Amino acid sequence: MTAWLKLVPGWVWWMLALAAVAGAQQFRVSDLQDELKTERATSTDTFGKLSACRETRGNLLVQVSEQNAALADLRALADQRQEAAKQAQAGAREEAQQDYQAANRLQQERTGGDACTAAESIIDTEMGL
């Protein structure tokens, strides 16, 4: 049985061993290249998602700053309206003061007799009729 092994020269055995190791290494390299392609695709997809998230974050920051500016404007307008309302109330009080005084005079000057007739005469006097 070992006789035919002796017929094959030693260098051929070395070549066969080298071919077997080279084939195994080529299979391993091919498998690693496939893994590398998969990892690159995953990494590219992850990078795309990360870029989209960063862009969305930037857009949201711009929108939030715009909303904050709009809120500040609304607060300033509300303060202005409140101040204008206070001034209008003060002006209305001043204008109504004369009417209040006239009404008080009407009540104080009430003369005897019918209340309607008395009120009518006082109003006519106030109006200059």
Q: What is the pLDDT of residues 71-102, one digit of tens each?
A: 999 999 999 999 999 999 988 888 888 877 77
Domain presence at residue 61: yes
- Pick the closest to residue 102 from 87, 74, 124 (CA basis): 124
Model confidence band, residue 107 (pLDDT cutoffs 50, 70, 90)? low
Q: CB neighbours of 110 closer than 8 A, spacing ≥ 6?
A: 118, 119, 122
Answer whether residue 126 is part of any domain. Answer: no
- pLDDT at position 5 is 65
What is the per-residue pLDDT for 114? 61
Domains identified in the chain, total number:
1
User: What per-residue string of b and e applies to 53-66 under the rule 16 or more CB within 10 Å gives b?
Assistant: eeeeeeeeeeeeee
> Does residue 27 sit within a domain?
no
Does residue 116 fall inside a structural domain? no
Question: Where do the DSSP E strands lie in 44-104?
Answer: none
Q: Please give the share of the chain, as a percent, with pLDDT higher than 70.
A: 83
pLDDT of residue 56: 93
Is residue 93 situated within a structural domain? yes
Asked, for residue 33, whether it belongs to a domain, the answer is: no
Q: pTM for the whole thing?
A: 0.44
Residue range 18-43: mean pLDDT, rounded: 89
Question: How many other C-beta atoms can be found within 10 angstroms of the C-beta atom of residue 108?
Answer: 8
98: containing domain: 52-106
